[in-house]
Structure 1
Amino acid sequence: MMASIQPPHTSEQLLVSFPAEHVLLLTLNRPKQLNAMTPQMQNDLKQVLNWFEDEPSLWVAIVTGAGRVFCAGADLKAWNNDQQSGVTDEQEGVVANVFGFGSISRRQSKKPIIAAVNGGGAYGGGTEMVLNCDYVVAGDQAKFALPEVKRGVIAVQGGIPRLSQIAGHHLAAELLLLGRTITAAEAQGRYGFVNQVVPASEVIPTAIAVANEINKNSPDAVQATKRGLLLSQEYGHSQMLLAHAFASECRGVYKGDNIKEGLKAFTEKRAPRWTNPSKL
């Protein structure tokens, strides 16, 4: 199955692989620069993730980084060169970039995305990417920071609302206004945006295991549930608005083939054999 699909061509800054059935693995590949984001890497991520959204045989994506750090954020040296030369159109770029930093930090994907945070962790925009993933596996030595204020910058690519939603106003303010660095254990226990902390050597295997566990479930139901989570962020506790907005996804699931297979497998006391979902 995996051999038959052809992802978009990417530069050497992004590695694309398929470590398990229905699973896409994206590896940021600028290890000497701590995977600091470039326009080329961001465009690579955008092209592949847009393709992933429409590829029915891929159900879960994992994002990680090569080398010592998941992603150190923006390339500040390049940004400084732009600032010093008078290129100051960052605001326009942020508004135009609908998917956010790394094409992930504001992306509302219909499919689960797992962050596998290796090595030294994620900083700035790298942390904003992590905050918008659905499941986060971090190495036990990983650290996280939103240090934008220390450089006269703002975590405007999605970090502010996502962290506030996850951790609450006061803990979000602690990270965002002080620009302090926290450990993976703190990110899991105090701030609540890391699901698992594991030894560094286990980050990728654990992320793949989580993807495989998700894929034991109906992909129709998983994708519709993901949509429900996104709608809940938008509509909050308004059950009526949520039910109205969520109606088309529910109809798609209940009229699809996988619900029939799931119920039949239950009555026959066997594991279900899911097929690629129809477009919900």
Structure 2
Amino acid sequence: MPSVNPPNTSNQLLVSFPSEHVLLLTLNRPKQLNAMTPQLTEDLRKVLNWFEEEPSLWVVIVTGAGRVFCAGADLKAWNNDQQQGVVTEQEGVATNPYGFGSISRRQSRKPFIAAVAGGAYGGGLEMVLNCDYVIASEDAKFALPEVKRGVIAIQGGIPRLSQIAGHQLASELLLLGKTISADEAHRRFGFVNQVVPGSDSVLRAAAAVAEQMNLNSPDAVQATKRALVLAQEFGHSEMLTNHVWGPESKRTYRGENIKEGLRAFAEKRTPRWTSPAKL
């Protein structure tokens, strides 16, 4: 475990450090299938905002305790609020710029890996869609069933799924509210990178991917991730301009890791990366 001090959280979120430079966040409401609550959202917001600014942490893995990654919103609590007129979904979206679980609309410069055992539904899938690398157990199921409940996948899932899968396949999930398998999510829809044999393999596979990412320059990885985020928002020329003159690119080309990478190449050895300077 690195010598860092994450924010305090409730028992709904488990925070751990499985290896150097890696943060692991485990949604911890297994009896409720990790359905999202305001408290869990706040825990995720605090820890992820801290993660963004902690130089020694380069990658985050998000997973769920028990048999499902995240079943989406806590519909019973939402129903009670709706009946009492406490809060509307529009107000919830407006007050949380990071989206569902403080992940579904987050524009991080650092890589997010989703380790999905069992499945992800509704807002849980919207979180997954905004991750950079997704690993799923072969028995995992995925769905955006909002239309079946009279609501909308408004937390960022609609544009992300449309970009990844295309209009027609996105419509298949969004307008029918159908459930698909991990194999379909991987082969047809394209938002799962890797399918592994069982739920107990998911975290091991995620840890291996995080380790592979961390063999690369963290400066270059974060600058590249920023370019991917910008590419979702802008056309080619505007994206290129914003990226080239952005803080991540400037840090990459002026930092020590680019010197180390080129020196290691010339000396035919493995680079010894250092944590990036704060932006």
Task: Give the structure-1-normalised TM-score.
Answer: 0.97
Unaligned runs of 5+ in 1: none
8 Å CA contact retained: 2:98, 2:104: yes
Q: For residue 44 of structure 1, what is the aligned residue in structure 2?
A: 43
Q: For residue 21 of structure 2, what is the aligned residue in structure 1?
A: 22
Q: After the TM superposition, which residues 64-75 of structure 1 pair with which residues of structure 2 at under 5 Å, given as runs?
A: 64-75=63-74
Q: Distance in 2 between matches of 1:83 and 1:242?
A: 40
Q: For residue 275 of structure 2, what is the aligned residue in structure 1?
A: 276
SS in 1 for 2:262: helix
**Range that drifts further, 146-155 or 89-98:** 89-98
**Amino acid in structure 1 at the alignment position of 2:30:** P
Q: Distance in 1 between matches of 2:238 and 2:86?
A: 43
C-alpha displacement at 1:251, in angstroms? 2.2
The one-character-per-residue Cα deviations of 1:152-188 (angstroms, maximum 9, x if unpaired) are: 0100000000000000001001100000000000000
Q: CA RMSD in A?
A: 0.9
Q: Distance in 2 between matches of 1:3 and 1:250?
A: 26
**Amino acid in structure 1 at the alignment position of 2:241:** H
C-alpha displacement at 1:211, in angstroms? 0.3
Q: Distance in 2 between matches of 1:92 and 1:98?
A: 11
Q: Distance in 2 between matches of 1:36 and 1:92?
A: 19
Q: Distance in 2 between matches of 1:135 and 1:168?
A: 18
C-alpha displacement at 1:93, in angstroms? 1.4
C-alpha displacement at 1:88, in angstroms? 4.3
- For 1:242, which of 239, 244, 266 is the aligned residue? 239
Task: Give the structure-2-normalised TM-score.
Answer: 0.97
- Percent identity, aligned pairs only, is 74
SS in 2 for 1:25: strand
Q: After the TM superposition, which residues 149-228 of structure 1 pair with which residues of structure 2 at under 5 Å, given as runs?
A: 149-199=147-197, 200-228=199-227
The one-character-per-residue Cα deviations of 1:107-139 (angstroms, maximum 9, x if unpaired) are: 001100000001x20000000000000000000
C-alpha displacement at 1:97, in angstroms? 1.0
Q: Distance in 1 between matches of 2:15 and 2:84?
A: 35
SS in 2 for 1:178: coil
Q: Distance in 1 between matches of 2:85 and 2:128?
A: 31
**Amino acid in structure 2 at the alignment position of 1:11:** S
Q: After the TM superposition, which residues 132-147 of structure 1 pair with which residues of structure 2 at under 5 Å, given as runs?
A: 132-147=130-145
8 Å CA contact retained: 2:82, 2:88: no
The alignment of Structure 1 onto Structure 2 pairs a total of residues equal to: 276
C-alpha displacement at 1:205, in angstroms? 0.4
C-alpha displacement at 1:87, in angstroms? 2.7
Q: Distance in 1 between matches of 2:10 and 2:57?
A: 21
Q: Distance in 1 between matches of 2:175 and 2:229?
A: 26
- For 2:125, which of 112, 124, 127 is the aligned residue? 127
